[in-house]
Amino acid sequence: MEFILSLVLILFFTKIAGSLSVKLGQPSVLGKLIVGIILGPAVFGWVESNEFIHYISEIGVLLLMFMAGLETDLKQLQQNWKAAFSVAVAGIILPFIGAFGVADLFGLNINSALFLGVLFSATSVSITVQVLKDMDKLNSREGTTILGAAVIDDVLVVILLAVMMSFIGTGEQISVPLLIGKKLVFFVVIILASWIVVPKFMKLLSSLKVTEPIITVALIICFAFSYFADLMGMAGIIGAFAAGIAISQTTFKQTVEHKIEPIAYSIFVPVFFLSIGLNVSFDGVGAQLAFVLVLTIVAIMTKMFGGALGARLTGFNNKSSMAIGSGMISRGEVALIIASTGLQAGLLLPEYFTSVILVVIVTTLVAPPILKLFFKESTTVISKRKDQKIEQSL
């Protein structure tokens, strides 16, 4: 029953930490991330990252992105696709150059430098989604641009990684055309399934004479889409997000949204947030402290200003552009997966693995307060402009 004790500690301390974080004017997710570091091997060692934690956290992040899809305004997302593409591309180019430059500066070989460039081009908006939900900004123009950019970023980074691995040669033969083909198949199948299959499937099975059939069917669709995304070389969270959007177009949206949140936030999502902190380890970092500090600063600044540049080029004002850029900072679980892949393929030197993981986690920790700061400033600017227009009309 050790896993039950771990669950008790996780649920108790994440709720306390989240509440304290809100009282201090920060997003609740920041407290949950920090308490993961405190309870984990880095400080007290009360909770260890094991298979149980891993599976529960995987479900947690899928449910989080599923709920984001349920709450997303599809029309707003479609209207902002050009901005999303611009943010994604600029948010890949600058971090790639920055991370490559840092690796070269500290004497890493060309293969490791290229890999770090790809790794820090990645974005994970699972943390950003929670902050946007807390601020009621998920459906804002900036929020939907961030979500759209994250989807495009995931596709481009996976392709970029495959191209790099095929040229460097890691013992695996990777067909880039096949990889791109799988991405196209994913989007075609998901769009058709969302349009044709999901509404009929929901309507058919919702009539079953069992307890909570609608929620069960919604979860089946969420997990099936996630599995298919992973099968096609995409992040599972993209599939969950797509499932949420698909169900949001049906008459069952309100019921699913109302009943999924208690399931997600009572157990699964808190475990996901805490699990990120459990990966923190300070072993061997002292000798590479300068590398960690420089790479952290470059990773944060290049992603933020890259995303902001992409937004500015598509018509956003300075404040909104910085808000969008700050929403792309977190590398989260996407970068952790890429780092593990690079280690196994020999593209990331083992002695640098811990340092790189620490940088990834720091970008995830700093994202919520930076995001909240810039979104507050963006809202203030919009409010002032509205007040000026009212004064002028009077």
Please name the residues in contact with 381: beta carbons below 8 A apart, sequence gap of 6 or more.
Answer: 317, 319, 320
Q: What is the pLDDT confidence band of residue 164, given thresholds at 50, 70 and 90?
A: confident
Coil, strand, or helix at residue 170?
coil
Per-residue exposure over 319-330, b if at least 16 CB sit within 10 Å of its own CB, e if not: bbbbbbbbbbbb
Q: What is the pLDDT confidence band of residue 174, given thresholds at 50, 70 and 90?
A: low
pTM of the model: 0.76
Distance CA 341, CA 371 (A): 29
State the burial class of residue 335 (Cβ atoms within 10 Å of its Cβ: 0-12, 13-18, 19+).
Answer: buried
Residue for token pair 């759209």 = 148
pLDDT for the residue numbered 390: 43
Closest residue by Cα to residue 164 from 181, 151, 185, 179:
179
Residue 381 has pLDDT above 70, yes or no: no
Residue 184 has pLDDT above 50, yes or no: yes
Coil, strand, or helix at residue 382?
helix
CA angle 182, 148, 157 (to 5 degrees): 50
Select the highest-mean-pLDDT range: 241-255, 273-287, 301-315: 301-315
Q: What is the pLDDT confidence band of residue 387, given thresholds at 50, 70 and 90?
A: very low
Residue 310 has pLDDT above 80, yes or no: yes
Residue 287 has pLDDT above 50, yes or no: yes
The neighbour count for residue 132, using CB atoms within 10 Å, is 26
- 330-341 average pLDDT score: 79
Share of the chain above pLDDT 70, in %: 92
Tokens standing for 264?
């997600």
Per-residue exposure over 47-60, b if at least 16 CB sit within 10 Å of its own CB, e if not: bebeeebeebbbbb
Distance CA 234, CA 345 (A): 19
Distance CA 164, CA 94 (A): 17
Distance CA 273, CA 133 (A): 15
3-state secondary structure 35-90: HHHHHCCCCCCCCCCCHHHHHHHHHHHHHHHHHHHHHCCHHHHHHCHHHHHHHHHH
Please name the residues in contact with 299: beta carbons below 8 A apart, sequence gap of 6 or more.
Answer: 95, 98, 99, 120, 331, 359, 363
Give tens-digit pLDDT for 28-76: 888 888 888 889 888 888 888 888 888 998 898 899 889 888 887 778 7
Q: Within its chain, how far is the Cα of 306 from the centroid?
A: 17
